């Protein structure tokens, strides 16, 4: 994965934009097309207390609503910490939005004031597809882009 090029591309495409939905749509598209490991890429936005709703995303359908109390995305929202899951079938209370998902990476997304606005979810149809490098580099991209929103 060429993270420097991905970061530069996203920075160029989002420069000057502050609308969070536009930013999310652009990031989801660019990340989805950046690596064959990524089967589904998208955001679940905080839309109400303890509630995540889908969108924007790239890939097949996803779950429409995820409570903070359920699944990998909910665990990320509750803890406000990355969730790197090598085997989703071993994760307690995993929500199977797609039966092809074998591993998952979910990152918290904060606005410029430090409020949790979403989680960034990446699913893979490959087992143990994600690394700590993915966590670090994608977290940097998200922090850079959403620091402006």
Note the pLDDT tens digit of each residue in 38-61: 999 999 999 999 999 999 999 998
Q: Which CATH architecture has domain 3-146?
A: 2-Layer Sandwich (3.30)
Q: Sketch the domain layout of the chain as residue ranges.
A: 3-146
> Is residue 13 predicted with pLDDT exceeding 90?
yes
Find where tokens 């905080």 sit.
46
Q: What is the pTM of this model?
A: 0.95
Tokens 């303890």 locate to 50
- pLDDT for residue 67: 96
pLDDT in the model for residue 34 = 97
Give dist(CA 83, CA 52) in Å, integer. 16
Give residue for tokens 């359920």: 70
Please name every residue paired with 84 in a beta bridge, in sequence order, or none if there are none.
105
In the predicted model, what is the mean pLDDT of residues 1-29?
97
N-term to C-term CA, the chain:
27
| 136 phi and psi angles, rounded to 5 deg | -65, -50
Q: pLDDT for 90-132, tens place per residue?
A: 987 777 777 788 999 999 999 999 999 999 999 999 999 999 9
pLDDT tens sequence across 87-98: 988 987 777 777
The percent of residues in the chain predicted with pLDDT above 70, rounded, is: 99
As a whole number, mean pLDDT of residues 69-86 equals 96
pLDDT at 145: 97
Per-residue pLDDT at 93 = 77
Residue 127 exposure: Cα atoms within 13 Å on the Cβ side: 4
pLDDT at 29 over 90: yes
Q: What is the DSSP string of 30-54?
A: HHHTT-TT-SEEEEEEEEETTEEEE
């Amino acid at each position: 994965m060429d993270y420097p090029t991905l970061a530069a591309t996203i920075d160029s495409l989002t420069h000057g934009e502050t609308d969070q939905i536009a930013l999310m749509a652009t990031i989801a598209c660019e990340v989805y097309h950046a690596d064959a490991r990524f089967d589904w890429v998208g955001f679940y936005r905080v839309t109400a207390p303890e509630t995540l709703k889908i969108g924007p995303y790239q890939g097949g359908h996803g779950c429409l609503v995820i409570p903070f109390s359920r699944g990998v995305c909910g665990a990320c929202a509750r803890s406000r910490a990355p969730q790197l899951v090598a085997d989703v079938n071993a994760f307690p209370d995993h929500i199977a939005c797609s039966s092809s998902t074998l591993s998952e990476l979910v990152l918290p997304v904060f606005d410029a004031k430090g409020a949790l606005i979403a989680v960034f979810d990446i699913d893979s149809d490959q087992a143990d597809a994600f690394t700590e490098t993915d966590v670090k580099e994608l977290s940097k991209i998200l922090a850079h882009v959403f620091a402006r929103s």
